[in-house]
Structure formats: structure tokens, C-alpha cells
Copies of this chain bind each other. A is one copy, B any other.
């Protein structure tokens, strides 16, 4: 039995009790718990049995105190706008991360870094090796020095998405360039001749990369890049709607458009409908994200699928890998392939 204290809180058994029940010393019990090889099978069995009988669970605080490792990983999300969590992107990434953490018996500490307020005094003082072993960064802002500061504190970091101009960073990203290139190539193969694009915000790496893919696809078939066929949106439905209108004003002869996000593509679909055009008859449309809405829009949206859960998994595994090797390894990076999902809009 485990006993309980005066306030009714069940009192967890300690390693001491496990050792006593197993008839061994505390050190030996500790070795068994931590999978040390230098323990005889009989001793191991006796300890395991005692652990099971008592329902023993190691006290993480005591353990951290001596090992100086916490078992916790921070998931840092900067400036959680409406967008961030709202996008299925986050759901998938977080799920992937969470599964890996579960598998490794590690805790995920969620840290939302809000705007200037927190930034002012000591930004996320909690994010130090004293509290977490490492950190996963999502949606960093351009020019933010938080990553550098965290590294200075001795934290091992892995970024979701390639951080621009940070050679020291380790990161995992989806192949935005390739995904966009493939989408535009698909439109060209279908015989479209005047392919426009609604690009994402130029201050976001994903926005820039997807525009780059558009250029590369044109270049691959010897078509010139024409600024008239590019309009910039902010990744929202409204932004896509406006961008599409502006494109139609400039070039009423366009017959296809690659849109750098599904919400923007839905806005574009609406603008096209309002202009009296048919999709894909008059204009073919391809989005990016493969969000749930894409499957049920009118018409269903051809779009680029990103392996979001896998992105989370890879991030988590890369971080745990670096931690296992003892930290100071070379920066590493992984790019995950995207795939085109064909639907009615193209």
C-alpha cells in the first residue's frame, strides 16, 4: 500500500520503499529504474516487481535536481494571432510533436510569447535550461532575436520553418518552393498560358518560397516572369479576394492562378465568381495548404498538401536527437516533400 497524508493526498511511494520491498539498496533500485546494464537479472526482476506492486513513479523534481535535466521541452509560439492556432497547420504540427513527446516520456510546455509587453522586461525568463531541456519554435517573426537569446542561455533549439538568415539554426520545413513549382507546372501542363499568382506576405519565408516556386516553374518552360501577374495577399480570405480583383483589373486575360494559401484561394474563388467567370472553365485555381475547407469549397480546390503532422514529428525528433548527443552539434535541417491534391478547380 502507498499510504496517504493527513490532507488525503495519496502519498506516492519512494525509491527507498521500492528498494526495501525488493530487498536491495537504493542505488541498485535506481539503476534498475534507469536501465543500467550492470544489474543482475534476478535483482532487476525483484525491483521491477516491487515497482509494479507499489505503483512507483519516479519523482521528477528530485531527479531533475541531481541530473540537471528537466525532461521538459518548450513549444514556443510567437504572437499567436487568430491565424496561428486557427490554421489546421498548427493542429497537425502540435499533434505530431505531442506524439513524439509521449513516446519519449517527455513533457511539452506550451509558451505563448505575446506582443511587446512580455518582450519588454525579461522575455520568457522561464525559457532556460533550468526549466526545459530544449525548445521548439513555431512562427518566429523576421528579425526577432528571441532564438539567439535562447541559444545564449544554453538552450538547444529547433525551428519549424526555415529561419531566414540564421546559419546557426536547426530547422525542419516543408518544401514550399517545390510545392509551388509543382502546382504551377500542373497548370501549365493542363494548357494554361497566362498563369497569375497571389503571393503571401513577403516578410514571411513561406510567402517568399512559394513565389520562388512560381518563378521557377515559369522559367522551366521558358516563360518570362511578369509582375503584372503577381498580386500580394496576407494569407487571409479577404486578402485573397482583394488580390484577385486587382489581378483581374490588370489582366483580364489570365486563365489560371496559383494562390499561396487556401484561405486566399477561397477569396479568389469568390472574386472570380463575382466577376462572372467560371472555375475552372475560364480560370483554373490552385491553392496551398490542403485545409479542410478546400475539400468542400465550390468547386473543390486543387491544392498543395503539406505533411503537417510529420513536420511536428521531425521537429521533435531532431530536438531529442540533438539533446541525446549532448548538445553542441552542427546545425541540421530537413525539408519534407509536399504533394499536389487534384480537385475540381483546375
Contact = CB atoms under 8 A, between A and B. Distances in A.
Contact of A82 (B91, B128, B296): B91
Interface residues of A, number: 61
Interface string A98-119: 1100100101111110100010
Given A82-B88, A86-B292, A109 B109 contact: yes
A94 interface: yes
Nearest to A124: B102
A125 B9 CA distance: 16
B110 A98 contact: yes
Contacts of A91: 80, 82, 84-86
A59 B85 CA distance: 32
B87 A110 contact: no
A236 B7 CA distance: 46
A65 B61 contact: yes
A88 B295 CA distance: 19
Contacts of A64: 61
B12 A130 contact: yes
26 contacts: A7-B327, A9-B154, A10-B129, A10-B154, A12-B128, A12-B130, A60-B61, A61-B62, A75-B110, A80-B91, A80-B95, A80-B98, A85-B88, A85-B95, A86-B91, A86-B292, A98-B110, A98-B111, A107-B131, A108-B109, A109-B109, A236-B296, A237-B293, A237-B296, A267-B296, A274-B298
Interface in A284-314: 292-293, 295-296, 298
Given A130-B60, A153-B10, A292-B86, A94 B65 contact: no
B112 A109 contact: no
Interface in A36-89: 57, 59-62, 64-65, 70, 72, 75, 80, 82, 84-88
Interface in A314-335: 326-328
B112 A95 contact: yes
Contact of A292 (B72, B82, B98, B270): B82
A21 interface: no
Contact of A65 (B65, B238, B270): B65
A125 B82 contact: no
A222 interface: no
Given A86-B91, A110-B110, A57 B128 contact: yes
A129 B131 CA distance: 18
A8 interface: yes
A182 to B, nearest CB: 24
Contacts of A107: 109, 126, 131
A10 B57 CA distance: 30
B75 A70 contact: no
Contact of A57 (B60, B125, B270, B296): B125
Given A10-B154, A110-B98, A296-B237, A57 B130 contact: yes
